[in-house]
Amino acid sequence: MRNIKRLAGGVFLLATVFGASATSFGATLIIDTFDDAVASWPQTSATIGSGIVENVAVLGGVRDTLITQAVLDESFDSVQVGVFPVAGLFDYASSVGADGRTVLAYDGDGSMSADLIDTPVIAVELQLFDYANNLPLDVDVTLRSGDDVETLSAAVNAPVTGSPATLVFNFSPFAGTLDFGNINEIVVDFDPGRGGDFRVQEIRAIPEPVTSVLLIIGGAFVLRRRPE
């Protein structure tokens, strides 16, 4: 996920808004506000591929959480992932020598058919990112409709503290590929790099902004379509 490249001709398909709340875009479809959790915090993975499925109040009714650790410098290194329902936060914390990632998948356990016709943009609101070791937080968002899949990628290249920061992934250019009236899976993949910590406040589907413009505030965000 770290080798994010431009489309041919340097065409950007996404809008990035720094420091803006997803609710400012008007009517939204809630994917996950992390107000509900079955498993207690934290869920800890010491091996690649540990999966946790929680039946919770999210789009499709199922939050499938995958956490991995690719590198452990010491036996005590770990990655911890969990939901704080009272605060409404998804928290990822890794020790100094741990290099992991986490994936959130929403598919209704194979039965989801979400209508994103009026909300073809996915907004991921970050409350915190510590920018550990000056490594970016790479975020991929994938939509699947039947056998058709599209993925957009972002890199957060600065700390997020104080006011939340919202990553906005505009899938509307893929209307000819994806059936927005029948979205079967939404996947959000976070890779914070070695020792990185972050918190997600909410994930929503929102209407397309009036103008899709790439905004780069101090180089904090870079969004591009992931090459196929």
Measured distance CA(73)–CA(131) in Å, rounded: 19
Residue 16: inside a domain: yes
5 found inside a domain? no
> pLDDT digit string (tens) for 57-68?
899 988 888 888
pTM of the model: 0.81
Is residue 3 a part of any domain in this protein?
A: no
Number of domains comprising the chain: 1
Residue ranges in the chain whose pLDDT is less than 70? 1-26, 38-55, 210-228
In a domain, 61, yes or no: yes
Give the residue among 140, 122, 120 at the shortest CA–CA distance from 182.
120
- Chain segment 16-52, per-residue pLDDT in tens: 333 333 344 458 899 999 987 755 556 666 554 555 5
- Determine, yes or no, domain membership for 179: yes
Whether 203 is covered by a domain: the verdict is yes
> Is 41 within 8 Å of 17 (Cβ atoms)?
no
CATH number for the domain that contains residue 114:
2.60.120
CB 85 within 8 A of CB 122: no
- Its domain, for residue 108, covers 11-225
